[in-house]
Amino acid sequence: MEVKVYTRQPDEAAYPAGLAYSVHIASRAGEEEFRPWHKNYGILFARAQIRPDDTLDTKAVKHPRIFLMEDGSYGIAAVRVQEDGSEDADGRGKVLLWKTTDFIDFDSLGLVDVSESGWETAGDCVSVEHGVLERAAEYWNPVFHTEIRIPEQVELDSAKDLDRIRAEAVYSDGSCHSKRVVWDKAGIDFVPGGSYEVEGRIVDQRFPFPVAVGYGDPVIFPWEGKWYYISTNDNKNDIGLYVREADSVKGLFREDTAEHLILAEDEKRQLLQTFWAPEFHVIGGELYLLFAVSGQVWGPQCHMMRLRKGRPIIEADSWEDPVRVVRADGSALTGDGITLDMTYLKTDRSSYVIWSYRKHIGTPLDSGSMLYIASIDESKPWKLTSEPVLLTRPLLGWENVAGTINNEGPYAFRKDGMVYLTYSGGAANSYTYVLGLLTAREEDDLLDPASWTKRGAPVLSFYSVEGEYGPGHNSFHMGEEGDLMIAYHAETALDQTIRCDGIRRVHFRKDGRPDFGMSAAEDLDPSLQNVKIRVIMK
């Protein structure tokens, strides 16, 4: 098999230079055409340089080449350029170099001299062992539903036992997922000793996109037997916090479902604008709402408010007064910027808050939004117990494309000893918005940046699911079928800027990786949704 590296021609309306001038990868077997990986979205991106004034000088690459290195690994080298493709004076006579053995993980060796890199004598493709490329292509390409496994025959004591028989969906990478079946038992007596063929239909957790129009940063939350939905309400000009209540997730998005104003504009309390990114979290056994808000002078800052014990979520007077999140010494999180998008994470080791911080927004000294983490005491979660620690800033081309310089909207979940922290980059209400991913082992010190691994390419983009543009600023919840679900906002067209909300199941691949971009058809092939089983009654 052969692997090829290349860049793409920029299209400012559909694939700008910050994305096009990155390393793309494709592979082929024999004489067939090369097939792009990652749906032809970039895989390796240049890192921006941090200037002395703490602003970012965005970089990109051109003319990538690939070659076999002396140690048996593969090198990918490319000329570093400015984001628009013009010459990078600091990179003159040098190339960016990455090294890989599996084409899944890439070690960045930074800028090296052209004469020492192997770039001058290399080409744009090279032969690689079949198994290596096959595994890599599977890693970078979509996983999809291929078959259903279900017993041909079961022996049961009662008809109720049939409800426990589930279908196993099998996917193209060999991963599996158990799905509930609704069995048609109507007209069957289920007499002891009888034999019956029973038809069933696999439950499809499909939510049409969009489920809500004019909303961003969605959160879906179960509480005391009800479901709740809260978001940034663009339909209200982002003023006030509105919540919906229903008996089911789908019920949250019925046309007749009421929106309840639980925090209104209030000049006395300086709650006046940018009511942004509200999130429900249970902290120390109590329910809090984390959000950002501005006063008379624009500049959102992280706040929290607590639900009074035994009170309903949907009533404004059920909530205590909002308080601003502060440092351990009681001072503000920032005196020279904005703070927003705060989320909560609890592990067996400690409890943390993670948020986005940005200095000098809208000026030549704009730092871009950055993610910070700190520990908290659950009894006073609005007060940090450690110094804020920088986790990530938008250095990669897909994070700061076309001047958007965003790392925002963090949200985490835990699974199998790992912490998965998604965040967003690109433009918050445009097609370039994407999800990035940070991972860490739960047992490690999450206040140490070295404990975290940042994936070099986005895990969800406008290339992931057809018809969804700019997916980002997500949250997670355990759905009604017991599966991890992701809620996010996106747009309905490439040139659209109205934020809309969507929901889908998070799939876990055979290697354990979460897959946030599995479409409804990839999750469950409709042609395989109907099943049959032979039931023998004991």
Q: How many CA atoms lie within 13 A of 11 on its CB side?
A: 6
pLDDT tens digits along 281-316: 999 999 999 999 999 999 999 999 999 999 999 999
Percent of the chain, pLDDT > 70?
A: 100
**Is the dihedral angle over the CA atoms 318, 320, 325, 328 positive or is it negative?**
negative
- Residue type present at position 68: L
Contact 19, 431 (CB under 8 A): no
Q: Is the per-residue pLDDT at 116 higher than 90?
A: no
pLDDT digits 0-9 by tens, 218-264: 999 999 999 999 999 999 999 999 999 999 999 999 999 999 999 99
Q: Does the pLDDT value for residue 117 go beyond 90?
A: no
**381-405 pLDDT, tens per residue?**
999 999 999 999 999 999 999 899 9
pLDDT of amino acid 52: 96
Which pLDDT belongs to residue 30? 84
Indicate the pTM of the whole model. Answer: 0.96
What pLDDT score does 86 carry?
96
Average pLDDT over residues 498-525: 97
H or E element at residue 24: strand 24-28
> Average of pLDDT values for 353-369?
95
Question: Which tokens hold the place of 425?
Answer: 């980059």
Is the pLDDT score of 187 beyond 90?
no
Helix (H) or strand (E) holding 116: helix 114-117
Q: Do residues 130 and 72 touch, judged by C-beta distance below 8 A?
A: no
Residue 47 is predicted with a pLDDT of 97
How confident is residue 507, by pLDDT bands cut at 50, 70 and 90?
A: very high
b/e map of 411-430 (b: 16 or more CB within 10 Å)?
bbbeeeeebbbbbbbbbbbb
Q: What is the mean pLDDT of residues 165-190?
A: 94
Residue 429 has pLDDT above 90, yes or no: no
- Mean of pLDDT values over 188-206: 91
Radius of gyration of the chain (CA): 25
Structural tokens at position 347: 């592990």
pLDDT for the residue 352:
98
Confidence of residue 158 (pLDDT cuts 50, 70, 90): confident
**Residue 48: closest CA among 538, 487, 415, 404:** 404
pLDDT at 428: 87
Query: What Å distances lie between residue 34 and 5, 37, 63, 440, 441, CA to CA?
Result: 10, 9, 18, 35, 37
Q: What is the mean pLDDT of the chain?
A: 96
The predicted-structure confidence for 447-488, as pLDDT tens digits, reads as follows 999 999 999 999 999 999 999 999 999 999 999 999 999 999
% of the chain with per-residue pLDDT over 90:
92
pLDDT of residue 271: 96
Once rounded to an integer, what is the mean pLDDT over residues 151-165? Answer: 91
pLDDT of residue 151: 95
* Tokens, residue 94: 């040098």
Confidence tier at 159 by pLDDT (50, 70, 90): confident
- Asked if 319 and 269 touch (Cβ cutoff 8 Å), the reply is no
- Going by pLDDT thresholds of 50, 70 and 90, the confidence category of residue 439 is very high
* Domain range annotation of the chain: 2-140, 145-204+530-537
